[in-house]
Amino acid sequence: MTGVLLAATPADCTVNNSHIFGGCGYPAPGLQNFNFTPIFTIGSWGFTKPELIAIICALLVIAFFWAAFRKPKLIPGRTQSLGEMAILAVRDQIMRPSMGKKGDKYLAYMSAMFFWILLCNLMELIPFFQFPAMARIGFVWPLVGIMLVVYWYVGFKTKGFIGYFKSWIPSGVPGFILVILIPVEILKYTIVQPFTLGIRLFANMFAGHLLLTIFMLATWYMMSFSIGLLFAAGSLFMVFFVFLLELLVDVLQAFIFTTLISTYIADSLEHGH
């Protein structure tokens, strides 16, 4: 089937000139939509659009909170009030439910993590940028690595080196069950938790961006002064629908990622399993 489609497609067909009745096949999006030509290179390293997006989002988070709290006032202005609302939202909706007040010392880390991920996600909906940095897994694994360092450090500090690893295994479990339970718990803390934490964020952003790209390209492909215009209208409706869906997913994924980190740190803070 692929060979037939390739043979029927003119050699000069591109994404820009492919239309339903123009003799060109549908320019299906794929992994090529997640690879970018470097903006500039230094040796073998190329600086690409996702890296630019990540840096811009980091600078926006730093600039906003610096502007909000560089000169805090007893009666806050608009920017400080907005900054306080943002910080309190992370504290009360993400951290306090799992860690309580003893987790407040991690508020700066969690707030920076949440808003940076949120902005990186929302970039896929903004013209010119139109790409979520978290759809490149290379941005996700460092976040997971930082979480593991914090998570284990808190566990060692709270329970001691031996006590932390002992807390992985529930107390009062019969010996014959421990033969199965110990490997399962080791896999849970060392592989399953970090892997699922990273893959969840990456996969949702990857799939959402791919879905949005599919309907945007389909709208362009079927746009013509013929029956294709009706199909294009239906695809355009799906673009708006997926756009709104992605807006919700972008917020939810930032929330879920930071909520899970809060839960993991809370587990390290607790002395019991």
Residue 3 lies in a domain: no
Confidence at residue 224, expressed as pLDDT on a 0 to 100 scale: 65
Q: Residue 47, SS3?
A: strand
Asked whether residue 2 is assigned to any structural domain, the reply reads no
| Residue 29 within a domain | yes
Kindly state the average pLDDT of the residues 33-38. Answer: 83
Mean pLDDT of the chain: 85
Domain-embedded: residue 192: yes
Q: How confident is the model at residue 8 (pLDDT cuts 50, 70, 90)?
A: very low
Which residue did the predictor score with more confidence, 20 or 249? 249
Contact call for residues 144 and 194 (beta carbons, < 8 A) = yes
Structural domain count of the chain: 1
Closest CA to 269 of 178, 156, 113, 161: 156
The reply to whether 121 falls in a domain is yes
- Top-ranked range on mean pLDDT: pick from 7-16, 129-138, 172-181: 129-138
Within 10 angstroms of residue 31's Cβ, the number of other Cβ atoms is 8
Confidence (pLDDT) at 49: 93
Residue 7 lies in a domain: no
How far apart (Å, rounded) are the C-alpha atoms in residues 227 and 138? 43
pLDDT higher than 80, residue 3 = no
Q: Which domain holds residue 30?
A: 17-269
DSSP 105-131: GGHHHHHHHHHHHHHHHHGGGSTTT--
Q: Could you report the per-residue pLDDT of 62-103, keeping only the tens digit for each? A: 999 999 998 888 888 889 999 999 999 999 999 999 988 888
Q: Which three-class secondary structure state does DSSP give residue 12?
A: coil
Whether residue 10 lies inside any domain: the answer is: no
Per-residue tokens: 198: 């990273």
> Quick check: is 12 in a domain?
no
Q: If residue 98 lies in a helix (H) or strand (E), which one and from where to where?
A: helix 96-99
Question: How much is the pTM?
Answer: 0.86
